[in-house]
Structure 1
Amino acid sequence: MNEENPLSLADICQACICHNLEQLCTRRTDGTLHFHQSPVFPQELSDQLLHKMADEGVLNDSTIGIFRCLEHFRLRRACIQSSCVSPEGFRQTLCLHRLQELDVSRVTGLAVSDVLSSLANSKDCRQGLQRLVLSGLSLLGENAESSQLRFSFLRGLRTLCVAWTELDDAGLEDICTLPSLENLDISGTSISDLTSLLNCQANLRSLTAHGLRNLEMSASRLLSVLSKLEALRHLDLSNDRLVADGDGMVQQLLVQPGVLPALVSLDVSGWRGVSDAAAQAFVESRQGMRFIGLLATGAGASEFFSRTTSVKVAGEANLGQICEALQRYRERECFMREALIHLYSLTSDLDEPQPHVLKLVSMAMQSHPESLHVQLVATACVFNLTTQDLAMGLPLRLLGTVVQQLLTAMRNFPNHEQLQKNCLLALCSDRILQDVPFDRFEAAKLVMTWLSVRENQTLQRMAVAIVSILVSKLTVEETTQLGAEVFIMKQLLSIVQQKASLGVVDPTLKFALSALWNLTDETPTACHHFMQCQGLELYMEVLESYHTESSIQQKVLGLLNNVAEVVELRPELMDEDLVEHVLSLLQGAEVEVGVSYFAGGILAHLCSTGGPPWSLDAELHQAVLDKLHSSILTWSPPEREMVSYRTFQPFYPLLQSSQPPGVQLWSVWAMRLVCSQSANQYGDMLEEEGGIAILQALVLDSSTHTDVRRLAEDILGLLEQRQHHGNQGEEVQ
């Protein structure tokens, strides 16, 4: 699958150009861009770049100007769908080229009349344009008149799509005079009579007439017209209202012998009440049939449609039919929802990963981001398709794309609880949270925003777990941004308060404490917010209440250690009760080394020189220094990894010669701990930050305490054979 392979070099280069246009270009006097210097782009590459700019959302009146330079760009197949281009921008740029194909579907700022009037003024386009897609445009521009809606001058046109425009019978009559017209899409238009199609019956090969709500022809009259289109190979009469075939039009078409003998594909999806027997008879009587659309018709479940391999079926009877529907009906919201509903039922108990199915669901979400109906069912399907075991067998890039679609759904429907629940359930996966590439900063903020207005305990537990892991994966810059959001700090602290008041020890409490710990890691702003939100008072209560829970104590002390690293906040930690309690956790038969380690870190920072002076009792100060030193000598490194660091910057000030030996000792013990676990990773960090030189100076300084020198020598010894490796730093999840 493409998701398992790297992106092509062409894709990477085009994306790079799209997002660096301002740097690569200068502006003309009219504000449009042109490249400083540019090679001659091959025609196909020119088409690809234009399409890529539209896909990336950077195509507008300014950026489209780069294609005015005909010496460097020659467009033949221009696709600018869903971009924002004015009639003037379109006329002054695209109409300069000898276009063979043009797709302006859903372009903001353009009307059908604008496109036609501009094309009419280009001789090359009048003669050479073969394919024109106008789907979703208004018919008339601001000052246009209906007389401007003439298609008949495009003598070379073979394919025309006017779907979801207000085209009427007069417009269809004009279109049907085109001498070379072979493929016509009039879906969702205001057409009431198809009789004009008889004017092009000799050439018409494909007719798409989905969702014609204004059609006023009787079944017999409609079938009479269709029966004369003997060259027709593709016919789509599907219905977007999913209603019964009241006058039996579809059923009559299926059972009428000899009609449309050349047909290769027929789509009657959405017409309920179609019988399997009639559909089967229609297919069997036409040797060339390769596709039939039967979604939401009631037909397609017979053994014949399950057995045949030569005819593809878009339906709901099995996974294959549903996937065919998802692939063919991507742009049709009503069919997407219908197919996804059936897909959800079929994927509730999967044994094997289904990457091709997940990709189709992702495409459906991408096509209909504003449709609650599609997003609601699609997010439920995503959960079914990405549960823990299944996720391990799915390509990372595909999962990353799916997660971004989940985040879009959360952002677009913030108040829909079931949809948010679906997204949280899907996100709550180790594979996704740990390995998949996606915007974790955005995800953390979205989840926290949702959490701040919800009190459902089950969802709260999931949300806090997700945030805890996401925050641990953020960069320092992203953590700083997230920590600047006061509401996040308040919400997490309120969860801790809620759980602590009940005296419970559950995953929600632990995840909330972990999230707060990681949120304050190297983030002074978050530490300030913690203090401003009365976090210190709450944490002192938690330390007292959970004195037998080492996992809780370690998370609490880890955060307070982060606060102690912020020099200006140290005076607020100079509370005698707090200091004495932390001092009691330095050593003891029942105190785990993780608890002692972070307790020691708090005290080391409070006793360090170069910051605010010690403001408590002098005897307590000496007692802290003595016990800090003696306790560290009794610590044994834990068997499992306890902590990781993104930098040693907070440790270097504690190694200065002016620092008390106990303070220096805690710092070198901490550095030796992580270096012994990953000498390569932390050796590179020390070398880059100048830490090795600091340790060497510490060893050579005659005033350095023997215990401190010994540990520093141990670190330098560990690093002698180090190799280059990456690094990360925060609580280990």
Structure 2
Amino acid sequence: MMAHPDALFNRKQYIGPESLADICFRLICSNLDIISSKDERGYRILRKGVALPSEICDKIIEFAHRNGTRDIDDYFLSMFKDSPTRLKRVKIANSSLSDESVLTITKHKLTELELSECKNLTELTIEHINANSDNLISLAFRGGSMIVPSQLKSEDDSALNYNKRGYVLRTPNLKKLALWNVDIAAYKYELLLAGLTNLTHLDLSNASHIGHVYYHNLVPNLVSLSLYNVKINSHPEAFVTNISYLKNLRDLDISQSHSKHGEFENPNKILGDLVCGLPKLVSLDIGGTNLAGRGVAERPDRSIQYCSELCDIPGLSFRVHTPLQFLGLYGTAHGACRRHDIPAQVIAGEGNEEQILVAARVCMDNKRDLLRKVLNDLYHIFRYENCERMDQALHTVLEAMEKHPTEKHIQISGSATLFYIVKIQEENGLPVEMKRRIIGTLLAGMSAHRDEETMMRNGCLALCQFRIPHDVMWNYEELVRVLLHSAENAEQEGFVQRIGLYLLNSLACQVDGRHKRLLGELGCVPTMLRLIEYRLEGGLFDDVLEVAWSTMWNMTDETPINCQRFLVAQGMRLFLGCVDAYPNKEELLRNMMGLLGNVAEVENLRPQLMEERFVAVFARLLNSDSDGIEVSYNAAGILAHMAADGREAWVVKNPDRDYVLSRMSTAIDRWDLSAARNINYRSFLPLLRLLDIFHTPQCQYWAIWALANLTKVYPDKYCILVEKEGGLTKLEKLLKDPRPNLRMKELAHSVLMHCQLACHPEQLQPSKLSSDDACNAEAL
């Protein structure tokens, strides 16, 4: 039975803070060592003294499955073997678990067991269930979880000779049974359903050869029967006769995804007889069939007429005054869902937004082939129309993607729809928990289909609607892994590679050292260098080349290990190649020199830069006016750090050290102190260290100029950083020292003034240089 669309969506499911219990379950499932350990074979064993009640055990499996971080396999489920735990309700999908694990979990005397797409299971699973079925009320095997052998017999093992023992399932208290894809002869259903007289709900979707099954003799108490994709149109009259004996039946599903199986002769009569024979029917799904007739409003045939009023579905005229609570019409012939006079309160179809959302709910768990089509319909609503039930649509898409992570087309349609939903919803701000759910769902789909270009494109586009990296920090590593794989394997020069690299660059920016190190550990540097080498060898210049260097620039910032990785991976060879091939590409030069500026800050790595071929390029770029002052500025910074190691460390004869230092001073002299900058410092410690290099004043000059420029142009951002990291003390010391020249003291004084104005304006008092160093600071 189907509720009204307004009742299908509970906003509380994702709005509001996550419960403490859910946080704990998520933490445990991500860190199973908290409650268990591994033996030498890798199987989980519950830690001594840990006892878990059923509510907790059930939730651990649920959260582990929901998070998608691990396969609910034999190694995981061994945690519940021979231990003080209690399982009650278990649902597992897309798992590699074996019959052995079924034995482990059924020994807990479950009340509910559902296994979907667990393809390693055999008929031995049946025996484990039968041996532990005292409390079992609900049992479901869906998708590829095939436990019923096609012959229902085993000549080699008398214990499994179902014909001889007279039953398949010995589950005396079972009320709900779902067995999908059953492929046995029609007369074997009597054996399959033998002894299950307490069944009230039966689902035999996708079963073959059902034929004339006498349900009323086998399962007389049924209130719900699902025969989705079961071929019944060969002998429809016999089917209607058999079904009509089930006088308590309230829910019936005979929908089809195969159009040829949904074609009936005399559809009006078949439907009319069926509905008349089931007086308690309140929910009926005839989607994908022609049972709704041709679509002309008419007074029905007198053979099925029980009402004088018009009805657009002749076979349902009997229910005009007692309409069905739910009627499934998705994919019916002649556009039945678009008709006006339909005796049903809630309709699933493709006629409008409401019908599509209802159809998605109907298909959500067990009709994946139809769910793909429904999600595609929903996508077109967002693309070409205005969606009125935005919250319901969002919840529906997320649930579909979460429940079917391996279904490529569901993930593709869902991610495409999420792009439009997030684009609209983010304008008003999404709750944090909703963001996490969306991002987690997208990431799970991208991880499962990382070689599918369309999925990766949709996922990346949707992620770009969020604040990166802020909104994705909780699952930073998994996103980096997915994007690195895409950068390596996506079509070269394609959109997916470009947008994936853009996201990677965003993930490398504005994060702390721990995350920058993680990027290096996951192989970001060699991945970027391979992208660069491909373009160099092919003579290709594009935005990927620039962004690859930018990504390495960001991830090497104050991260020495990543700087070392760059050098080890022969990054300098590609640097020289790019300088030679693209000497006038301003952004490329800036990104490369910014990266090498980070390398030069690492003392033990500087000797690797001390080669004539490298120093010559740095010296030449001092005169560059590319990208304002940025290339020249970074070149001077690299040389300043190298020169700071002293004359003995300068082992290069050409260019000469004094010559390079002279050119540095000339370059700094010509820079505009008010220039806006395309650079971001998180720490000034590398610059402040250069203030102590009195033996080479050019090093001090570059550092003081940088501080003066940044505190003047961006006082709110950088003045507090100077004060926090002890820069004021160093500058005051420099002002008192007789060695620095007048220009350097002017710059130092200006930094102090900027910081006082920005950080302590109330303490501002006139400050004077010594008479020997008098200058007009305001003019600076």
TM-score w.r.t. length of structure 2: 0.76
The reply on whether 1:448 has 2:487 as its aligned counterpart is yes
The equivalent of 1:12 in structure 2 is: 23
State the one-letter code of the partner of 2:139.
Answer: L
The equivalent of 1:205 in structure 2 is: 223
The reply on whether 1:705 has 2:718 as its aligned counterpart is no
Conservation of the 8 A alpha-carbon contact between 2:531 and 2:548:
no
The equivalent of 2:768 in structure 1 is: none
Which stretch shifts more, 254-263 or 269-278? 269-278
* 1:718 CA displacement: 8.0
- Whole-angstrom distance in 2 between the partners of 1:29 and 1:530: 37
The equivalent of 2:201 in structure 1 is: 183
The equivalent of 1:118 in structure 2 is: 128
State the one-letter code of the partner of 1:472.
Answer: C
SS of 2:257's partner is: coil
SS of 1:490's partner is: helix
The reply on whether 1:243 has 2:252 as its aligned counterpart is no
- Whole-angstrom distance in 2 between the partners of 1:355 and 1:387: 13
- Whole-angstrom distance in 1 between the partners of 2:463 and 2:416: 12
The equivalent of 1:79 in structure 2 is: 91
- Whole-angstrom distance in 2 between the partners of 1:109 and 1:508: 44
* 1:219 CA displacement: 0.8
The reply on whether 1:557 has 2:593 as its aligned counterpart is yes
The equivalent of 1:22 in structure 2 is: 33
* 1:233 CA displacement: 0.4
Conservation of the 8 A alpha-carbon contact between 1:263 and 1:286:
no
Taking the TM superposition and a 5 Å limit, the aligned residue runs for 1:122-161 are 122=132, 125-126=133-134, 128-135=135-142, 136-139=145-148, 145-147=160-162, 150=167, 153-161=170-178
The reply on whether 1:34 has 2:36 as its aligned counterpart is no
SS of 1:134's partner is: strand
Conservation of the 8 A alpha-carbon contact between 1:290 and 1:312:
yes
The reply on whether 1:481 has 2:521 as its aligned counterpart is yes
The reply on whether 1:287 has 2:346 as its aligned counterpart is no
Conservation of the 8 A alpha-carbon contact between 1:583 and 1:624:
no
* 1:352 CA displacement: 6.5
User: Is the alpha carbon distance of 1:477 and 1:673 closer, same or farther for their aligned partners in structure 2, counting shifts above 3 Å?
Assistant: farther
User: Is the alpha carbon distance of 1:82 and 1:368 closer, same or farther for their aligned partners in structure 2, counting shifts above 3 Å?
Assistant: closer
- Whole-angstrom distance in 2 between the partners of 1:251 and 1:235: 17
* 1:543 CA displacement: 6.4
User: Is the alpha carbon distance of 1:45 and 1:425 closer, same or farther for their aligned partners in structure 2, counting shifts above 3 Å?
Assistant: closer
Taking the TM superposition and a 5 Å limit, the aligned residue runs for 1:429-448 are 429=465, 431=467, 435-436=471-472, 438=475, 439-448=478-487
The reply on whether 1:321 has 2:350 as its aligned counterpart is no
Taking the TM superposition and a 5 Å limit, the aligned residue runs for 1:210-249 are 210-213=228-231, 218-243=235-260, 245-248=262-265
* 1:105 CA displacement: 3.7
TM-score w.r.t. length of structure 1: 0.81
- Whole-angstrom distance in 2 between the partners of 1:601 and 1:362: 49
Which stretch shifts more, 556-565 or 394-403? 394-403
- Whole-angstrom distance in 2 between the partners of 1:74 and 1:415: 40
SS of 2:113's partner is: strand
The equivalent of 2:551 in structure 1 is: 515
- Whole-angstrom distance in 1 between the partners of 2:367 and 2:566: 50
* 1:235 CA displacement: 0.5
- Whole-angstrom distance in 1 between the partners of 2:732 and 2:189: 87
User: Is the alpha carbon distance of 1:68 and 1:424 closer, same or farther for their aligned partners in structure 2, counting shifts above 3 Å?
Assistant: closer
- Whole-angstrom distance in 2 between the partners of 1:716 and 1:149: 90
Conservation of the 8 A alpha-carbon contact between 1:480 and 1:525:
no
- Whole-angstrom distance in 2 between the partners of 1:264 and 1:436: 45
State the one-letter code of the partner of 1:340.
Answer: L
- Whole-angstrom distance in 1 between the partners of 2:314 and 2:430: 37
The equivalent of 1:613 in structure 2 is: 649
State the one-letter code of the partner of 1:538.
Answer: G
Which stretch shifts more, 17-26 or 233-242? 17-26
- For each residue in 1:539-563, what CA deviation from the matched residue of structure 2 results, as whole angstroms up to 9, or x when unmatched? 42366334xx5x4543343233234
The equivalent of 2:384 in structure 1 is: 349
- Whole-angstrom distance in 2 between the partners of 1:605 and 1:553: 19
The equivalent of 1:469 in structure 2 is: 506
State the one-letter code of the partner of 1:254.
Answer: L
- Whole-angstrom distance in 1 between the partners of 2:424 and 2:673: 33
Give unmatched runs, 5+ long, in structure 1: 723-733
The equivalent of 2:107 in structure 1 is: 95
Conservation of the 8 A alpha-carbon contact between 1:3 and 1:396:
no
* 1:507 CA displacement: 5.4
- Whole-angstrom distance in 2 between the partners of 1:179 and 1:609: 89
Q: How many residues align?
A: 698
- Whole-angstrom distance in 2 between the partners of 1:443 and 1:638: 42
The reply on whether 1:64 has 2:73 as its aligned counterpart is no
SS of 1:37's partner is: coil
- Whole-angstrom distance in 1 between the partners of 2:92 and 2:166: 21
The reply on whether 1:340 has 2:375 as its aligned counterpart is yes
Larger radius of gyration: 2
* 1:186 CA displacement: 1.1
Which stretch shifts more, 155-164 or 485-494? 485-494
User: Is the alpha carbon distance of 1:524 and 1:667 closer, same or farther for their aligned partners in structure 2, counting shifts above 3 Å?
Assistant: same
SS of 1:230's partner is: coil
State the one-letter code of the partner of 2:628.
Answer: E
User: Is the alpha carbon distance of 1:536 and 1:40 closer, same or farther for their aligned partners in structure 2, counting shifts above 3 Å?
Assistant: closer
Same amino acid, percent of matched pairs: 22
User: Is the alpha carbon distance of 1:716 and 1:545 closer, same or farther for their aligned partners in structure 2, counting shifts above 3 Å?
Assistant: closer
Conservation of the 8 A alpha-carbon contact between 1:567 and 1:611:
no
- Whole-angstrom distance in 1 between the partners of 2:313 and 2:238: 20
SS of 1:157's partner is: coil
- Whole-angstrom distance in 2 between the partners of 1:63 and 1:482: 26
* 1:441 CA displacement: 1.0
State the one-letter code of the partner of 1:44.
Answer: E
Conservation of the 8 A alpha-carbon contact between 1:447 and 1:467:
no
SS of 1:602's partner is: helix
SS of 2:228's partner is: coil
Conservation of the 8 A alpha-carbon contact between 1:403 and 1:427:
yes
User: Is the alpha carbon distance of 1:189 and 1:618 closer, same or farther for their aligned partners in structure 2, counting shifts above 3 Å?
Assistant: closer
Conservation of the 8 A alpha-carbon contact between 1:132 and 1:160:
yes
The equivalent of 1:730 in structure 2 is: none
- For each residue in 1:16-66, what CA deviation from the matched residue of structure 2 results, as whole angstroms up to 9, or x when unmatched? 22233334335789965123333663x433432343344453644454355
User: Is the alpha carbon distance of 1:161 and 1:492 closer, same or farther for their aligned partners in structure 2, counting shifts above 3 Å?
Assistant: same
* 1:624 CA displacement: 3.7
* 1:567 CA displacement: 1.4
* 1:609 CA displacement: 1.0
The reply on whether 1:660 has 2:673 as its aligned counterpart is no
SS of 2:376's partner is: helix
The equivalent of 1:731 in structure 2 is: none
* 1:433 CA displacement: 6.6
- Whole-angstrom distance in 1 between the partners of 2:50 and 2:449: 44
- Whole-angstrom distance in 2 between the partners of 1:173 and 1:424: 52
- Whole-angstrom distance in 2 between the partners of 1:477 and 1:149: 64
* 1:232 CA displacement: 0.4
Taking the TM superposition and a 5 Å limit, the aligned residue runs for 1:380-529 are 380-387=416-423, 393-395=429-431, 397-407=433-443, 417-429=453-465, 431=467, 435-436=471-472, 438=475, 439-451=478-490, 453-456=491-494, 461-472=498-509, 475-481=515-521, 486-495=526-535, 510-521=546-557, 522=559, 523-528=562-567
The reply on whether 1:44 has 2:55 as its aligned counterpart is yes
- Whole-angstrom distance in 2 between the partners of 1:89 and 1:396: 37
Conservation of the 8 A alpha-carbon contact between 2:683 and 2:721:
no
State the one-letter code of the partner of 1:230.
Answer: K
* 1:477 CA displacement: 1.4
Conservation of the 8 A alpha-carbon contact between 1:204 and 1:231:
yes
2:345 to 303, 306, 311: 311
Conservation of the 8 A alpha-carbon contact between 2:357 and 2:396:
yes
* 1:14 CA displacement: 1.4
2:640 to 604, 610, 613: 604
User: Is the alpha carbon distance of 1:495 and 1:161 closer, same or farther for their aligned partners in structure 2, counting shifts above 3 Å?
Assistant: same
**RMSD between aligned residues:** 4.3
Conservation of the 8 A alpha-carbon contact between 1:392 and 1:431:
no
- Whole-angstrom distance in 2 between the partners of 1:374 and 1:350: 21
* 1:473 CA displacement: 5.6
- Whole-angstrom distance in 2 between the partners of 1:576 and 1:22: 52
- Whole-angstrom distance in 2 between the partners of 1:559 and 1:29: 45
* 1:238 CA displacement: 1.4
